[in-house]
Amino acid sequence: MGYTEDLDPRPQTIEAEFARLREENLRLRQENARLRALLGLLKDEESLSCNSAPTMAAPAGANQIAFMVTNHSSPEAKIALFRSLFRGKEDVYAARWEGKNGKSGYSPACKNEWDRAFCGKPKVKCAECEYRQFLPLTDQVIYDHLAGKRTVGIYPLLPDETCWFLAADFDKASWQEDVIIFLGTCDEMGVPAALERSRSGNGSHVWIFFECPIPAHLARKLGCALLTRTIERRHQIGLDSYDRLFPNQDTMPKGGFGNLIALPLQRRPRDQGNSLFLDRDFQPYPDQWKFLSTLRKMRVEEVENLVMEAARAGSIIGVRLSLIGAGGEEEDEEENPWTLPPSKKRKSEKPITGPLPEKVRIIQNNLLYIEKEGLPPALLSRLVRLAAFQNPEFYKAQAMRLSTFGPPGPLIPEFMRHILWQAQYCE
């Protein structure tokens, strides 16, 4: 597939030179716009607009790269396309490691790693090390990743708490069934999405790309809206069929980088049919680069409109967004409901149209168990949403700018045959 050619620092083709210059031009324009916004030299609306960092002339199918990259394109053209999509922090990247005991993971790539004159691992965390010298993400690093010389992950959350993409991670046994429904939701809502089989082959990532960096909280609201709509279409998905969203937090953890995501097209897994982009029949595209060249990136206005529509409809995981305070005043519809105190009251839901079952089997024991069998999808979805409750550990950690690795956000206590409610709230 043309990944193993030597990477000549001098572009060998006009195509590669154009790709490099276009990417550099875009990067500099965006950085210039961001710095001007910080200095107050732009109007508020301009600082959030992709128009402040226009791309060079694009074809009618906007948001596509200015030329088609294929398996036969030069390494430089492939790297330029790859870096135009999978973008995160560029002053540091994560490198995969494998221990002698079979354990594996990722850690920030550092010039002084395991140099005992400087490196204090494992006693000292990388983020707390005074001798850390993180290595930047370069074209050569990406080349090595594609060629199989190393496996790289990136940190999607930028220092200004924006991101270039959103990714949803599915890793349960039923991931294929669930991800097809999720992709159908993306199609229904007009969200361009790309499906990648994971490194292990036992899960997947669904990638959604943006024209310019957008606030992480906005991207994550889009992800929540997509997941909630998917729950409504297929109630069995619950909140356990996907692992997490990338980025996994709205704010940058103090002293950290946020969570990382492994880059696709890893050489060794790719040779086994994994870490590749798939069609809806779960078959790898024969030309991965041609597929990536056709991906559309979302404008910030599109994301804002979809999130606003979802907020009005209450289509966010867990509970409705429209809430009424203790004094009867209506709260901000865009406020995350699971971060609010339990005393907040929901607005009344719209009635569910029939047919509805004559009886529902409920078991009251240590908690309240509602049997799912015989319940229509609309009623199941409503019960699941009502049963959701906030996980205080996640939001406490995020508010303190601590790592949110591990604890999920909203929780849905759901089992194969029953929905679980805390009985004291129902009596």
Helix, strand, or coil (residue 26): helix
Domain final residue, candidates 311, 332, 348: 348
| DSSP 8-state code for residue 338 | G
Residue 127 is assigned to a structural domain of this protein: no
pLDDT in tens, the chain (427 residues): 455 444 444 445 666 677 667 767 766 766 665 555 455 443 343 334 454 433 333 333 334 445 789 999 999 999 999 999 999 999 999 999 888 888 889 989 999 887 888 888 888 877 778 888 899 999 999 999 999 999 999 999 999 999 999 999 998 788 998 899 999 999 999 999 999 999 999 999 999 999 999 999 999 999 989 988 887 776 655 555 667 899 988 888 776 788 899 999 999 999 999 999 999 999 999 999 999 999 999 999 999 999 999 888 776 653 333 332 322 223 333 344 444 444 344 445 667 766 788 788 877 766 677 776 777 766 766 666 666 544 445 445 544 444 444 545 554 444 444 454 444 444 4
Residue 249 is assigned to a structural domain of this protein: yes
- Same domain for 338 and 410? no
- Same domain for 274 and 343? no
- Same domain for 251 and 167? yes
- Same domain for 211 and 77? yes
Output Rg (C-alpha) for the chain, integer angstroms.
23
Contact 250, 161 (CB under 8 A): yes
Rounded Cα distance between 221 and 224, Å, is 5
Residue 53 is assigned to a structural domain of this protein: yes
- Same domain for 415 and 288? no
Q: Give the H/E segment covering residue 98.
A: strand 94-98
Residue 313 is assigned to a structural domain of this protein: no
- Same domain for 368 and 242? no
- Same domain for 333 and 361? no
| CATH of residue 172 | 3.90.920.20
Domain final residue, candidates 313, 348, 383: 348
Tell me the β-bridge partners of 298.
210
- Same domain for 268 and 368? no
Residue 130 is assigned to a structural domain of this protein: no
Residue 275 is assigned to a structural domain of this protein: yes
Residue 43 is assigned to a structural domain of this protein: yes
How many domains in the chain?
3
Torsion angle in degrees (nearest 10) through CA of 135, 214, 222, 137? -10
Alpha helices in 190-256 (DSSP H): 216-233
- Same domain for 176 and 273? yes
Rounded Cα distance between 3 and 269, Å, is 14
| DSSP 8-state code for residue 405 | S
Contact 233, 185 (CB under 8 A): yes
- Same domain for 227 and 369? no
| Domain encompassing residue 46 | 14-92+136-303
pTM, to two decimals: 0.67
Helix 175-189 and helix 216-233, axial crossing angle in degrees, nearest 10: 110
Cβ atoms within 10 Å of 8's Cβ, excluding its own: 11
- Same domain for 80 and 217? yes
Residue 372's nearest CA partner among 427, 414, 423, 318 is 414
Residue 114 is assigned to a structural domain of this protein: no
Q: Give whole-number Cα distances, 93 to 155, 169, 271, 330, in Å.
A: 7, 20, 24, 44
- Same domain for 341 and 364? no
Q: Which residues of 391-422 are buried (b: 16+ CB within 10 A; e: fewer)?
A: eeebbebbeeebbbeeeebbbbbbeeebbebe
Q: How many helices and strands (H and E) does the chain possess?
A: 11, 14
Q: Quick check: bond before 122 cis, omega within 30?
A: yes
